[in-house]
Structure 1
Amino acid sequence: MMKTRLRYCVYDPDRRGNPRYYVRQVGKPKVRIKAAYKDDQGNITPEFMNEYWAALAVLNGMAEPKKESPREETFDWLVDQYFRSQRFQRLNEATRRDKRSVLLRFCETAGALPYKKFRKKDMEASQFKRRETPGAADKLVKVMRALYNWAIDEKLAVENPAARVGKINNKSEGFHTWTPEEVDRFRAFHPLGSKPRLAMEIMINVGARISDACRLGRQHETMINGRRWLKFTAEKNRDRFPVLIEVPMTSDLIKALERTETGDMAYLVTSFGKPFVKEGLGNKMREWCNQAGLKRCSAHGLRKAAAVIMAESEVSAPELCAAFGWRNLSTAQIYIREAEKRRLSRNAFERVERFRNRNVSLSKAKNSDETN
């Protein structure tokens, strides 16, 4: 606890290091101030001062303390009901864990507030407060949107304050897409027969998400017209919108499987012979990429690299959707447009080169007496 420039006002952060300010007088209960303490110029905000004077008035008996909302009207109650709902329970374990983490962090500061009074401007303010981590800020909006959609369906709310809130992370292109040179570098560092090499070959040859790569195994293999295929239901949204993926096994993948020690129910297993969990495999891929000097690369970028390779091979949008389990053609069109743009740029420069090679030298003739 530390004193501030204002009398009776102390700074007392929570266990996570989040800033907390209180008005405190000896022998009296402390009153928290929830407004932002300083603006971008380092000045105490008017909102903070308004709450500061109101807190002093309450402590000195000059004003009635602000009544707290009944628990049934707070975010704490709403989020608790959401966690108990069938809609939340139908989500897969990883999604539940992710949403629970986001909402519990939100409730650390807003749990006692009335959720029915939460407006779009409040959602935008919460998002903007987290602008230093734009990915987390946008995820909060996404999770809050799902929370209020459920609340509206259950007749617990009448509008969704997160419905029309845009992203602030528009500049990000997501995870880095591996280049062909980076794939070759990884292969050169991690030879056939190694676990890192097998993990990479599974992801780039199947286009598998990391949640699928960690559970693919012999039970997913099948024969179609004399060729080995993999047939599996994508882990993502499998309980709500199951997507069946069927892909032929490439020669690179078959070669890696033949030369690597694998498990039975999962190709990729830990040093203890257990299948990887998604987070564990992601951490291992991060480690293996660092060993190969590929600091920008990760498991997530391999799926994108597989999509780029197919798009540049002039694969159609429906074919991409079938291979990657996408439900919307618009997702495939993103990769097709990028591939087409690169192809047109390459063709343009090749035309320039051909034109320059055909062109006659314009240097001055050596003999000035020459005539046409």
Structure 2
Amino acid sequence: MSKVSLPRHVHRVASRGREYFYYQEGRGTAQAGERIRLPDDPQTPEFWNAVRQAQGTFGPTPTDTVGALIDAFEVSWETRQRKITKGTQDHYRRYLKPPRKAWGDLPARELRPRHVDALVRKIGAEKPGAANNVLDALKALVAWANGPVELLTHDPTQGVERFAKGEGHHPWTPEQLAHAEQTFTGMVRRFYFLSRYTGQRISDVVRLNPTHEDEGGFSLSQKKTGVKPWCPIFPELEAEMAKWERRPGPYLIQEEGKGKGKPFSTNQMWKIFDRERQKHPILAGAVPHGLRANAVIRLRGAGYSALQISDMVGMSVEMVEHYCRHADRKASGQAVLRELRERSDDTTVKHWKSGKQK
């Protein structure tokens, strides 16, 4: 069996070609607790129910609960033929928390579309984006459970509707872009240029370093999706990078505090950016992800196709078109306006010698 991530106090013992699992707190110490035998397959709801009981959660909780099903789904990620990226795993864990809280002890076979619809509507009343993410995570769970593992025989998400997509993150205005270039300094300035001209997420920008440079571009597997785009280093970014000290490690490092000299985490970079944004009222509403929109709109305006931009930024073609829809419509309207003006300019009025129009 392939190795899987086991919870705390659970250990694996291999003997005569077989694997056995035990729960024991304080193993190997003078305060070692009772050694409890667990089921052999850590990918079953029964295994995780036994773990909870060993942890002190006893009672008549069924082994086929929604909570146990979610546990088994999470364990399956380690042995799937098609690997699930760390970013996607974190995404699923986050958005399966509301279902776990709502129906953790409910037998999975009793979960119905009306339950899912009620939860999605409740969350969507204030956070439609989060509601859609919960529904997507549940659909992934159900698709797996209805597959070869055969832990479900029905689809409790069937017919449940997503909320309409919002406008997404707004690109920065020309005034905001100009202000950032004129006022940002230090690591915030580096972060701005890397984000604007690569179109990458914060989680990837903070990891960028010289080892990712590849013949005039950046080649880096995205943390969230695992996609590996090739981002050209455009002249504007190249000119800015020429001012940076060449050294090992990420381009972005902390300049003060306990973490001085260390890389930024995503949250740390967000906090640094937010503090800078609060100093400048003109940046109200600007978020780092909006620079991702600026990047694709700029490339679209330069005449690149959605597929080409997808390859450069690592964004789906659908999302490229989503971000560029306003820019495309505006460009189309302006093209029509230019054509009408050109036609008007080309239409000359000729006169007869008598002064009458021809």
Cα distance change, pair 356–318 in 1 and its aligned pair in 2 (3 A)? closer
Q: 2-side partners of 1:339 and 1:109: how far apart? A: 42
With the length of structure 2 as denominator, give the TM-score of the two structures. 0.70
Q: Which amino acid aligns with 2:229?
A: I
Native 8 Å contact 1:197 1:256 kept in 2: no
1:126 CA displacement: 0.6
Q: Which amino acid aligns with 1:214?
A: V
Q: Which amino acid aligns with 2:219?
A: K
Mean alpha-carbon deviation: is it higher for 79-88 or for 204-213? 79-88
Q: Aligned Cα RMSD in Å? A: 3.1
1:183 to 177, 191, 202: 177
1:367 is aligned to none
1:40 is aligned to none
1:282 to 254, 258, 270: 270
With the length of structure 1 as denominator, give the TM-score of the two structures. 0.67
2:238 to 254, 274, 283: 254
1:214 CA displacement: 0.9
Native 8 Å contact 1:220 1:232 kept in 2: yes
1:70 CA displacement: 4.2
2:97 is aligned to 104
Native 8 Å contact 2:232 2:312 kept in 1: no
2:66 is aligned to 75
Cα distance change, pair 247–103 in 1 and its aligned pair in 2 (3 A)? closer
Mean alpha-carbon deviation: is it higher for 298-307 or for 69-78? 69-78
Q: 2-side partners of 1:319 and 1:156: how far apart? A: 41
1:30 is aligned to none
1:157-236 equivalences under 5 Å are 157-170=152-165, 172-191=166-185, 194-223=186-215, 228-236=216-224
Q: Which amino acid aligns with 1:269?
A: I
Q: 2-side partners of 1:76 and 1:277: how far apart? A: 31
Cα distance change, pair 86–341 in 1 and its aligned pair in 2 (3 A)? closer
Cα distance change, pair 299–230 in 1 and its aligned pair in 2 (3 A)? same
Q: Which amino acid aligns with 2:189?
A: R
1:297 to 272, 282, 286: 286
Structure 2 unaligned residues grouped into runs of 5+: 1-58, 349-354
Does 2:304 correspond to 1:315?
A: yes
1:350 CA displacement: 4.3
Structure 1 unaligned residues grouped into runs of 5+: 1-67, 361-370
Native 8 Å contact 1:195 1:260 kept in 2: no
Query: SS state of the match for residue 267, structure 1?
Result: coil
Query: SS state of the match for residue 218, structure 2?
Result: strand
Cα distance change, pair 177–163 in 1 and its aligned pair in 2 (3 A)? farther
1:1-372 equivalences under 5 Å are 70-87=61-78, 91-130=84-123, 131-153=125-147, 154-170=149-165, 172-191=166-185, 194-223=186-215, 228-238=216-226, 243-261=227-245, 264-271=248-255, 272-292=260-280, 293-326=282-315, 329-335=317-323, 337-350=325-338
1:206 CA displacement: 1.3
Native 8 Å contact 2:297 2:327 kept in 1: yes
Q: Which amino acid aligns with 2:223?
A: E
Q: Which amino acid aligns with 1:229?
A: G
